[in-house]
A and B are shown apart, each in its own frame.
Chain A
Amino acid sequence: MILDSKIPEGPLAEKWDKHKFNVKLVNPANKRKYDIIVVGTGLAGASAAATLGELGYNVKAFCFQDSPRRAHSIAAQGGINAAKNYQNDGDSIFRLFYDTIKGGDYRAREANVYRLAQVSVDIIDQCVAQGVPFAREYGGLLANRSFGGAQVSRTFYARGQTGQQLLLGAYSALNRQIAYGKVKMYPRTEMLDLVMVDGKARGIVVRNLITGKIESHSAHAVVLATGGYGNVFFLSTNAMGSNATAAWRAYKKGALFANPCFTQIHPTCIPVSGDYQSKLTLMSESLRNDGRVWVPKTVETAQRLRKGEITVNDIKEEDRDYYLERKYPAFGNLVPRDVASRNAKLVCDEGRGVGSSGLAVFLDFADAIKREGQPAIAAKYGNLFDMYQKITDENPYEKPMRIYPAVHYTMGGLWVDYNLMTNIPGLYATGECNFSDHGANRLGASALMQGLADGYFVIPYTIGDYLAQTPYAKIGTDHPAFKEAEQAVIDKNQQLLSINGNRTVDDFHKALGQIMWDYCGMARNAEGLQFAKQEIRKLREEFWRDVKVIGVNEELNITLEKANRVADFLELGELMVEDALQRNESCGGHFREEYQTPENEALRDDENFAYVAAWEFTGVGNEPVLHKEELKFENVKLTQRSYK
């Protein structure tokens, strides 16, 4: 298989405009003859469904939540980047492009990232036009703040809930199309398989989560906007329902899965408090604008603190190690996420961690409060401080926050070309579901940007190019391909329901999460990964022998829902490990302990690993086939990332 990224010819800055001109168009009167399925209604899905509906296509949109507005994009706190340069601080499309490529440790496609930076400015205009209440200055113009990995203020925000406000904008556009009848919405409906006819994606099989009914939907193209797979770790900042099933089942139908080992561990999350923990809560990265990260200078002080012999306020200024400021004077506390996370792990591994488990560092606002006053800090971060206090019962105005990294985002995903089409004709992947824009590490406030860029401004053009070459003829869901896929889904559910073993689904999920966190988390090595691979295989085998799923398919069955998702995680986890094993270098979120600089920074190997690793499914338990897409860098010079 040859991976054709379909990157247009020509200078970087002209590629997208040229491509837009060159793509084939579907005449307005013919658009209504095409049906498009959009799975997932987060920023990428809702924006795509709404825009495609506006263009005149017949759209069917699906989400497993009870309303499209609850998709997990809603939880994004900090902001959305755009190269508006409203602050006159030297920002430009090229700078946003450059920061994103560099932040991603040179493992993303130049052309995709440049396009992302280009359309970023349109996103802000679009959202404002929809009535998204971004933060504003007293003069009535939009406010910006700075974020990790950038030296300009280009992040637009809506207090600590930018994700919700942007999603409500996309959701309102979606609602408008639903009201017009151009989008038919299917909430509480989960995609369980992709249907292919003649090698092309032509529909999906879904389960109605209320009645359990297995149904098929046919279309001319399918867009997966189903988010990331961070929940493979069990504990993550993802929502409880976030899952990889749609993408994974597409993978099993032949779509390539790219860079699965690239996961982002977010540095500022509330530490785990006990083994009952069901999820982790993120504290926005924007906190690092004013919070200072530190741990005690010595192991001994840290130990006394953990034992409760001293309190945090007893530790004198000179006994504190503001390790990010010390090691990275240029960026200080605003280093990219992977760097911040790895350093937190380093100091905790040294025994200088805080909190009862020793797996936490301080994020201290005392200086900022002294400098700006408590009201100013409360105005900026009040809701985050409240959330912290609710969860931990500690007041961050008086005591520094305790934070620890947690799985947050997955840069890997379905392989797509420049048109966001997977290697399966007619199957598209947008937003976090694809792999394309963030390389080995995503910068803060870029996920929202990518989701909306894909949905509002990219796929509406590129999908037309494909549809213009697709006959109008519809395929009925009585086609044997649909019946076959439905039967496979029914059989799988029946199999899960008939095992009637002893271990619960959550039990397996937690066990998998532990393996992934220990061996495929913030730091990896070949030996651990080999071990993890065997462990996952054992666990998966045990799952299919001993999992306990009760009830029937024909009802709201929460255990069956979870079992389906965890079954897929148990396969995906192995692929992540496989991918981490083959990538004998460190880059971004992928840190192989064997490959580091003397200063413990990630050591890339551009000679041998400047490629996208795209994996082809060959059967569960079989070795997947690796396809490589070489990454060419013509506009940026590959350098060792330095935030010093």
Chain B
Amino acid sequence: MDLTLKVWRQKNRESAGAMVTYPVKGISPDMSFLEMLDVLNEDLLRNGQDPIAFDHDCREGICGMCSLYINGRPHGPERGTTTCQLHMRHFNDGDTITIEPWRAAAFPVHKDLVVDRSALDRIQQAGGYVSVNTGGVPDANAIPIPKTIADKAFDAATCIQCGACVAACKNASAMLFLSAKVSQLAMLPQGKVEAKTRVENMLAQHDVEGFGACSNTGACAAECPVGISLENIAILNREYLSAKATSEHVA
């Protein structure tokens, strides 16, 4: 099939960008969206033009690197799908497809469709861990964890840190991401020990990074490629409120 692509091109962080139109021809419906972009990039390169930079790596939907805002939606029109797992059979011959980078103050554009998501790393550095050193830990079966809790923690832990929640949110809030990280560890006995400082510090970092606040539109969960639930945000709020009310950090 033949398509028209409107792609955000931006030379680097400092330059202004613009949408540029490219026709692509002979696209197979079995191609993935990124393979379609590969085809375009090979054409551009052969014509001596700079290929479009976009983030991608595993192309299996798990590394969370791919990050395209396709036709007005993060990761495109299919629910529960990362860009790399989106296939061209979901588009029609003659379609015009817009492709933009994630937009958020906390995600500056490096080039074209590549954005800087290190803010999400920094949020986790603020406390997204259990403070145990290697070695000297109890036997793995020493602390039984009810299956329902383990499963729920797992559901939260499936977050692939792609940033689609931020891209989808009208407030560019990273609450869904943050809540997945907080609630996973808050549910597990291993994470409970430092649950209070964790949620306090991680939210503080979230706010410092310039993400917006949650207004419960639910867009994040609707667009999340791995189905992180809004319940996590409620858990986050609860954890935060109770931590602030009862922790002894007065600063």
Contacts and interface: CB of A to CB of B under 8 A. Distances in A.
In the complex they form, do A and B come into direct contact, defined as C-beta atoms under 8 angstroms apart? yes
Contact of A136 (B59, B87, B118, B147): B147
Interface stretch (B1-9, B42-50, B208-216): B42-50
Interface stretch (A69-77, A98-106, A191-199, A443-451): A69-77
A450 to B, nearest CB: 16
Given A65-B63, A556-B110, A176 B131 contact: yes
The winner among A185, A391, A460 for most chain B CB atoms within 10 A is A391
B184 interface: yes
A125 B137 contact: yes
A130 B56 contact: no
B188 A133 contact: yes
A142 to B, nearest CB: 6
Q: How would you classify the secondary structure of chain B's contact residues: helix, strand, loop or mixed? A: loop
Contact of B120 (A67, A210, A237): A67
Contact of B63 (A70, A135, A504, A506): A70
A55 to B, nearest CB: 8
Interface residues of A, number: 82
Contacts of B114: 556
A343 interface: no
Interface stretch (A273-281, A288-296, A312-320, A396-404): A273-281
B150 A556 contact: no
Contacts, number: 216
Contacts of A129: 130, 132, 137-138, 190
A330 interface: no
A127 B134 CA distance: 9
Interface string B226-243: 000000000000000000
B95 interface: no
Contacts of B248: none
A161 interface: yes
Interface size class of B (residues with CB under 8 A): 35 or more
Looking at B46, B48, B59, the one whose CB has the most chain A CB atoms below 10 A away is B59
Contacts of B144: 136, 139-141
21 contacts: A67-B161, A131-B129, A131-B153, A131-B184, A133-B154, A136-B144, A136-B150, A140-B145, A164-B158, A176-B125, A210-B111, A240-B58, A273-B28, A274-B28, A274-B31, A278-B32, A278-B35, A278-B59, A391-B85, A548-B46, A556-B114
Given A140-B146, A173-B134, A240-B57, 10 more contacts: A68-B121, A125-B138, A128-B140, A131-B188, A158-B154, A172-B128, A274-B30, A278-B38, A281-B60, A555-B11
Interface of A: 47, 50-51, 54, 65-70, 72, 74-75, 84, 86, 122, 124-131, 133-142, 158-159, 161, 163-165, 168, 171-173, 175-176, 178-179, 185, 187, 210, 237, 239-241, 273-274, 276-279, 281-282, 386-387, 390-391, 393, 456-457, 460, 502, 504, 506-507, 548, 550-551, 555-556, 558-559
